[in-house]
Structure 1
Amino acid sequence: MLTRIDHIGIACFDLDRTVDFYRATYGFEVFHTEVNDEQGVREAMLRINGTDDGGSSYIQLLQPVREDSTVAKWLAKNGEGVHHIAFGTADVDADAEAARERGVRVLYDEPRRGSMDSRITFLHPKDCHGVLTELVTAAGSSASSVSSASTDH
C-alpha cells in the first residue's frame, strides 16, 4: 500500500547551483548526497518533512554524470524540470506486482537499490498518464531488507 509521496525527482544541469536555489528560495537543506554510477547521476536529497509512517518527503535533485544516462537523455529532450514522482511503500515488491496485475508495465524485473539504500522500481509513464512513477521502500523497513544486492537509481 502506498503511504506517502517519498520524493519528487527534478533533473538539473548543475546540481550545486540548483541546491543553492532551493536553499535560498525555500530554506531547504541537503539531507543526503551520492553518486549512483549505474544510473549515471549525482544527486542531492533535500528533506521537506517527516510523515506519519516514519518516512520523510524529499526533493531529489538529479544531475547526470554521463551523456548516456537516462537523466542526461531526458534533459537533452525536455530541459530542466520534474522528472518523476516517487511514492513510499512498505513493500515495493508487492506494490510492483499489484501494478503489473492491473496492466501497468514495471520497468525492473526486480527492485534495485535506490537513494539512501532504499529499494526501488519504476512504472512506465505511458501507463501512468505521462508520469514516470517510482515506488520506494526506505532502508530499514522490513521489506527493504529482503533483497538489496543490486544497485541502481
Structure 2
Amino acid sequence: MQFHGIHGLNIAVHDLEQWTRRFEEVFEMASKPVDESGFAFPGLRGASFDINGFHLNLIASDAESTSVSRFLERRGEGVFLVSVGVQDVDVATRELRDVGLAPVLEEPVRGEGHAGVTFTHPRDMAGVQLEFIEVPR
C-alpha cells in the first residue's frame, strides 16, 4: 500500500466548543468548523486544525448511534482514530482485505474534501481505528 504519510489525528470530545477554544488558545490559530457533510457518517460535527499539512480534528457527536458517541461512552475523551493518506482508496481497501483485515465499510465513502475514505475496526489494529483517506494532491 502506498501511503502519503499520517494525514491526521481525530480526537473525540464531549464539548466541542470548550475544547475548540482550548486548542485554538494553545495553538494560537483558528480552527475550521466541520459540519456533518465533512464526515463519512451522519451525526458528527467537528473543528479542524491544519498544522503544516497535518490535520488535527476534534469530533463531537449529536447522535447516540455514532461510533464517536459509543467511544466517548466507553472510553471517555481522547484519540479516536489515526488518519493515513493513501494514493487510491479503492486499491487500499483491496489491500486491507489481502492482509486479512475487514474494512468497516464495504465500499469507500466519497465526500467533501476527499476522494474517498475507508476504516479498519479498532480490534484489528491494537485498539486503534485507522482511517485510510484519499485526498487530492
TM-score using structure 2 length: 0.88
Q: Is the alpha carbon distance of 1:17 and 1:115 closer, same or farther for their aligned partners in structure 2, counting shifts above 3 Å?
A: farther
Unaligned runs of 5+ in 2: none
State whether residues 8 and 60 of structure 1, in contact with CA within 8 Å, keep that contact through their aligned partners in structure 2. Answer: yes
Match 1:40 to one of 40, 43, 51? 43
Equivalent-residue separation in structure 1 for 2:111 and 2:22 (angstroms): 24
CA distance in 2, matches of 1:14, 1:111: 29
Alignment of 1:58-77 (within 5 A): 58-77=55-74
Tell me, yes or no, if the aligned pair for 2:114 and 2:134 is still in contact at 8 Å: no
Cα separation, 1, equivalents of 2:102 and 2:92: 12
Structure 1: state its 5+ residue gaps: 50-55, 142-153
Residue-pair matches, total: 134
CA distance in 2, matches of 1:96, 1:44: 27
In structure 1, what is the Cα distance between the partners aligned to 2:111 and 2:102? 19
- Equivalence for 1:27: 28
Deviation digits for residues 93-122 of structure 1, max 9, x if unmatched? 111111110101211111003562441100
Provide, for residues 20-46 of structure 1, a one-character-per-residue CA deviation record: whole Å limited to 9, x for no partner: 111111224213522248431111111
1:3-30: CA deviation from partner (whole Å, max 9, x where unpaired): 1111101000111111111111122421
Q: Letter of the aligned partner of 2:13 in structure 1?
A: C
Q: Is 27-36 or 91-100 further displaced after alignment?
A: 27-36
Q: TM-score, length-normalised on structure 1?
A: 0.80
Q: Is the 8 A contact 1:12 1:81 kept in 2?
A: yes
